[in-house]
């Protein structure tokens, strides 16, 4: 089991409720903060995920924790599936996403709906590929979410997960720690006006299983051929596994 980190330790609500409320509240500022705080590197990472997915030539893709639909949009453009379904707990994140999908003229391909990764409203063996970007760390029960995604994935299908990791090499580790613990929470708090969202981010990344540990959890949940690739000096990783 991974350690549970919640957005607000003094709040008695479940992690799921807190995460939904937090993303509802930061939704209007989420994209601008994401791209600014990552110096747009997040866009490069999502494109890498989409390229990996495109190699499997999927007809149907599920983007779990789709948020404001950035990954759903780039996957639709690069992998050319017949459909991408985006699912997320936060209706406000999805509302931002719906507008972006419409603006990108992708409404015929991308549909979004509110739903929980740990209880997916789809039948077994439905999707050719599943993607999750910066979502798994926010699940209340990581293993339940991973097992649900495996259930709705078709045999032979690929699950591709993008998530932050903590760098380990000197001096990237020290510089990144300073940025992640001090600069990012300050800018995040000022721009989003949310008191804990951008302290929850580094705390949740630090506590989350990284690299080989996450690969092991995927395998324990029933995935096969799980592997990872580090990105950008170890500040993120892409995990790929099959059913
Ligand atoms: C950091 S955002 C990532 C959004 C998007 N994938 C991206 O790349 O920008 C995390 C998203 O995960 C969603 N989320 C967290 N737990 C979830 C769950 N159990 N089921 C569905 N969505 C969830 C949140 O509502 C939020 O929109």
The answer to whether the beta carbons of residues 223 and 150 sit under 8 Å apart is yes
Output helix, strand, coil percentages for the chain, rounded to the nearest 5.
50, 20, 30
CA 70 distance to own-chain centroid: 10
Provide the β-strand partners of residue 162. Answer: 133, 238
Ligand 1 pocket check for 93: Cβ under 6 Å: yes
| End-to-end Cα distance, the chain | 21
Mean pLDDT per 10-residue interval, the chain, length 243 residues: 77 92 95 91 97 98 98 98 98 98 98 98 98 98 98 98 96 92 91 88 94 98 98 97 98
Cα separation, 197 vs 33, whole angstroms: 11
Q: Distance, CA 82 to ligand 1 centroid (Å)?
A: 23
Q: Which two tokens stand for residue 89?
A: 């707990």
- Output b/e per residue, 126-162; b: 16+ Cβ within 10 A: bbbbbbbbbbbbbbbbbbebbebbbebbbeebbbbbb
Identify each DSSP E strand in 149-207 by its residue range: 153-164
Q: How many CA atoms lie within 13 A of 95 on its CB side?
A: 10
Domain 15-164+208-242, what fold? Rossmann fold (3.40.50)
Is there an atom of ligand 1 within 6 Å of 71 CB? yes
How far is the centre of ligand 1, averaged over its atoms, from the C-alpha of 160 (Å)?
15
pTM: 0.97
Condensed to tens digits (0 to 9), the pLDDT of residues 197-236 reads 889 999 999 999 999 999 999 999 999 999 999 999 999 9
């Amino acid at each position: 089991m991974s350690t549970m980190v919640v957005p607000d330790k003094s709040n008695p609500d479940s992690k799921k409720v807190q995460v939904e409320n937090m993303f509802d509240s930061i939704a209007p500022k989420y994209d601008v903060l994401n791209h600014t705080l990552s110096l747009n590197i997040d866009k490069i990472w999502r494109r890498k995920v989409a390229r990996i997915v495109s190699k499997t030539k999927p007809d149907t893709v599920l983007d779990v924790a789709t948020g404001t639909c950035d990954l759903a949009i780039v996957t639709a453009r690069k992998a050319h599936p017949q459909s991408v379904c985006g699912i997320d707990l936060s209706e406000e994140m999805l509302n931002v996403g719906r507008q972006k999908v419409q603006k990108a003229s992708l409404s015929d391909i991308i549909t979004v709906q509110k739903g929980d990764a740990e209880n997916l409203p789809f039948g077994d063996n439905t999707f050719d590929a599943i993607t999750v970007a910066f979502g798994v760390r926010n699940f209340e029960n990581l293993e339940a979410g991973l097992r649900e995604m495996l259930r709705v994935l078709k045999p032979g299908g690929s699950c591709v997960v993008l998530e932050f990791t903590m760098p380990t090499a000197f001096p990237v580790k020290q510089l990144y720690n300073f940025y992640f613990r001090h600069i990012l929470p300050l800018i995040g708090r000022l721009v989003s006006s949310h008191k804990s969202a951008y302290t929850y981010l580094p705390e949740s990344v630090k506590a989350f299983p990284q690299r080989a540990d996450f690969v092991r959890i995927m395998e324990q949940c029933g995935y096969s051929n799980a592997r990872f690739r580090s990105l950008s000096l170890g500040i993120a990783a892409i995990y790929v596994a099959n059913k």
